[in-house]
Amino acid sequence: MSDTLKEELIELLYHDSFEFRVTPTHKGMELEIFERSEERKEEIREVIEEWVCYGSLFEYLFKSGSCYSYEGLIMACEEGKDDDYKIIDVEIHIEINGPSPEESETIYIDFSSFLIAEKLALNPQLIGINNFENNLFNVEFVINKWQHVDKFDLFYCMDNEHIKIDLNKDQRKIIVDYIVEFAKSKEPQLDLIRSEYFDVSSVTIYCEENEITYKVNEYYEFLYSDVFD
C-alpha cells in the first residue's frame, strides 16, 4: 500500500508540488486543497485524503492522541536534468497549528501587581479626570513569531469611550517589558510527541481588550521514505 501511495504521489508531483490544509470539525477531518483547477484538486484528493485525514501521515503527526489543524506542502525530491530527470522521493513539509479551542483557556493581562499610572507616571488631568482606576486600563498588542512587538496601544476606558494614552519611549518600554514577560509566562504547549524530524516551533501572541490569545506553530520536514517506507 505504501509503495502504491508513494508512486501516486510522485505521479502527482511530475505536474507540480501542492499544498493542503486539514482541519478538525465536529463531523471529522476536513481537507482543503489549494489548487485553482477543480480537476487537479480532485486528482490530489483521491490520492491523499485518507492518508492526511485518518491514515499513516495523520497517525504519525498525532501519535499523542491530541489533534490539531495542520497544513502541508508536498514537493518532489529530484535528481538529474532533462532526459535524466526523475523524482526519487517525496518531500513533506508540515506546519501544525494550535492550540485547539477546547484546550484554550481565557487569559487576561493582569495589572493587579502593575500599577500603570504610578509605574508610568501618567497625569490623569491630561484626559480630564482626577485619578486613574487601574482596572479601567486595557492594552492591545501583537507579539509576532520572531518575538518582536508589532503593535502596542494603551487605552483608558471611561464612559464607554476608549481613550488612547500616548506614551514616550521610556514609558512604552516599561509597560511593553511587563506585558511581554506576563504573556510569555502563560504560553501554551501543544500536546504532541515530537519526532526526530521536528524542526522548530513559534508562537504569535495577540491581545485585545486585555484578553490574550496564542497561535502556536510547529514545523516538521522529512522524506516519505524516511517515515513510511
DSSP letters spanning 107-138: EE---TTS-HHHHHT--GGGGT-S---GGGEE
Share of residues in the chain with pLDDT > 70 (%) = 99
Q: Where residue 2 falls among pLDDT bands split at 50, 70, 90?
A: low
To which residue does cell 505536474 refer? 15
Quote the strand ranges of the chain, DSSP E: 18-25, 28-33, 69-79, 86-98, 107-108, 137-143, 149-158, 161-164, 198-208, 211-223
pTM: 0.86
pLDDT (tens digit per residue) in 104-137: 888 999 888 888 999 999 999 988 888 999 889 9
Q: Where residue 100 falls among pLDDT bands split at 50, 70, 90?
A: confident
d(CA 45, CA 52): 10
35 within 8 A of 18, measured Cβ to Cβ: yes
Which of 101, 94, 106, 96 has the alpha carbon at shortest distance from 192?
96
Amino acid code (one letter) for 10: I
Domain borders along the chain are 2-99+215-227, 107-185
| Helices vs. strands in the chain: H and E counts, helices first | 6, 10
- Lookup: cell for 143: 507579539
